[in-house]
Structure 1
Amino acid sequence: MFNRYSISKSQRDSVILPRWLHEHRRDPAIKRFLGRQDDDDPFTEEEEDGLQIYEDCLYRHRVLRVNYTTYDMRREQDLINPRTHPDVVVHSDALADDDDPFWYARVLDIFRAKVRYKGPGAMRVMSQWQDVNFLWVRWFERDTSYMAGFSHRRLPCLQFVDADDPDSNTFGFIDPYDVVRASYLMPAFAHGVTEDLLEPSKLARRDGSDDDWCYYYVCIWVDRDMYMRYLGGGVGHRSTWDATQASRQHAE
């Protein structure tokens, strides 16, 4: 069976959630780690209270291995490491007001937790402890003022989501299953750095700096398979047909 991804089962690096949140309470990266009160949440308060994390403990992992089928029907694997290769690409939300087929994020941590649901409507299988893997990420957004794509002969341009924007999600969570591949993002050195997108954060910036590159370029030709994902039409990309069709429109 072809597993979409793999993560270690180790429990050596554990994070006690209440303690961790308290230790980093002044870090802006965890401001909305547990959600926010003004979220348009489809779940009731009783349903949210029914979700339990075993011993309030998360297990941190160093590497996520993403398996994928290339355009020429080969099996390949990308390694995601929050410290060395943290950037990933996922398919954009079909309901979002965005014609870009891909979204981008920087993985800050790879977590696994044992969870169960004991709230309203819970079935027997839900009440059993189950392993759930998830990625804690910092989101990028496309610079819409920059005309990019095949027709403009320019690479897509990204920037981190502004943490001061109340209508945007600066940080969030991703199911590892939804990761298409690792993404290769290149800082736009000519535009320099900025401190305006996020206050000093040790969790969001592992290099100890207090600033971010203003912009990044997406390297769409880092390899042949990646290029075909943007051009569209790769044989091994059947499960991503809608996204590659959108990419093909960008190429015409």
Structure 2
Amino acid sequence: NFIPKIKDHIFSHLLGLEYDGDEREFTDVERNDVHFINNLNRVFQPKRFQINYTTYDVRRDQDMLKPGNGSTVMMLSRESSASAHPFWYARVLGAFCINVLHVGPNACNHSPQYMEVLWVRWFGVVPQYRWGFQEGRLPKIGFVPDSPAAFGFLDPSLVIRACHLIPAFADHRTNDLLRQGPSTARLPGEVDDWASFYVNM
């Protein structure tokens, strides 16, 4: 499902649809309006990418990340409920620089367009876990179990900055979140996942 999903993400961006966390699914006919120039033969996959952010003392700084090596990023949550966690977290599996062409009746720009896309594995907040300064505990998250929602694509401009995760050693490792064995979604040499992580603050 990699190609249909990345086309859905790019098509949403080309149509100017606001990202709300749920990738919209388009029909095959609509996806055909997105053309990869050179049929993905010249997609650039950078070994590293930079995130510009503002520090707490209002200075400019950068995070240098390496996709596929445990790099984790955070973005503002798109959830609106009062109890929603303020941020979303994702492990970056790959970064792509793609030249696309938007054709068809909905196209606003018929020229080749350069797009940057992150391929990510999503984390979710551990349910019923209380955190914060009053509780004296760090936020706790874990990988979303294997499902269509476990992986997705993200516009790098939505990323706030990188974040540091600490494995929750007491929760041990598990293969319930993803089939056991080597995977692009895991670090080299790993065959299972930590059940949960603390977000270092």
Alignment TM-score, normalising by the size of structure 1: 0.66
Residue in 1 aligned with 2:154? 174
Deviation of residue 53 (structure 1)?
Answer: 0.8
> What is the root-mean-square deviation of aligned Cα atoms in Å?
2.4
**One-letter amino acid of the counterpart of residue 214, structure 1:** A
Structure 1 residues 27-48: Cα deviation after superposition (integer angstroms, max 9, x where no partner): xxxx5552399x9836454332
Task: Indicate if the aligned counterparts of 2:45 and 2:94 stay in contact, CA closer than 8 A.
Answer: yes
Residue in 1 aligned with 2:169? 189
Task: Indicate if the aligned counterparts of 2:5 and 2:152 stay in contact, CA closer than 8 A.
Answer: no
**One-letter amino acid of the counterpart of residue 144, structure 1:** P
- Deviation larger for 54-63 or 92-101: 92-101
Residues in 2 aligned to 1:211 and 1:33: alpha-carbon distance in whole angstroms: 26
Are residue 131 (structure 1) and residue 134 (structure 2) matched? no
Taking a change above 3 Å as real, the CA distance of residues 60 and 32 of structure 1, as seen in their structure-2 partners, is closer
Are residue 148 (structure 1) and residue 131 (structure 2) matched? yes
Q: Hey, which bits of structure 1, 4+ residues long, moved more than 6 A?
A: none
Residue in 2 aligned with 1:228? none
Task: Indicate if the aligned counterparts of 2:36 and 2:98 stay in contact, CA closer than 8 A.
Answer: yes
Deviation of residue 194 (structure 1)?
Answer: 0.3
Taking a change above 3 Å as real, the CA distance of residues 40 and 94 of structure 1, as seen in their structure-2 partners, is closer
Taking a change above 3 Å as real, the CA distance of residues 35 and 169 of structure 1, as seen in their structure-2 partners, is same
Calculate percent identity across the aligned residue pairs. 38
Correspondence for 1:69 among 54, 65, 74: 54
Correspondence for 1:157 among 140, 147, 152: 140
Residue in 2 aligned with 1:88? 73
Deviation of residue 120 (structure 1)?
Answer: 1.8
Residue in 2 aligned with 1:112? 97
Structure 2 segments unaligned to the other structure (5+ residues): 9-21
**One-letter amino acid of the counterpart of residue 46, structure 1:** V
Structure 1 residues 206-230: Cα deviation after superposition (integer angstroms, max 9, x where no partner): 323210001100001xxxxxxxxxx
Task: Indicate if the aligned counterparts of 1:134 and 1:174 stay in contact, CA closer than 8 A.
Answer: yes
> 1:1-252 alignment to 2 at 5 Å?
31=1, 34-35=4-5, 41=24, 43-57=26-40, 58-84=43-69, 86-95=71-80, 99-123=84-108, 126-164=109-147, 169-199=149-179, 200-220=181-201
Task: Indicate if the aligned counterparts of 1:33 and 1:172 stay in contact, CA closer than 8 A.
Answer: no
Residues in 2 aligned to 1:35 and 1:95: alpha-carbon distance in whole angstroms: 25
**One-letter amino acid of the counterpart of residue 154, structure 2:** I
Which SS does the other structure have where 2:184 is aligned?
coil
Structure 1 residues 53-98: Cα deviation after superposition (integer angstroms, max 9, x where no partner): 1122122111111111222221111111124451000111145786
Alignment TM-score, normalising by the size of structure 2: 0.82
Structure 1 residues 141-193: Cα deviation after superposition (integer angstroms, max 9, x where no partner): 000122112221110001100004xxx61000111111101010011112110
Taking a change above 3 Å as real, the CA distance of residues 70 and 40 of structure 1, as seen in their structure-2 partners, is closer
Taking a change above 3 Å as real, the CA distance of residues 162 and 32 of structure 1, as seen in their structure-2 partners, is farther
Aligned residues, how many?
184
Taking a change above 3 Å as real, the CA distance of residues 75 and 184 of structure 1, as seen in their structure-2 partners, is same
Which SS does the other structure have where 1:56 is aligned?
helix
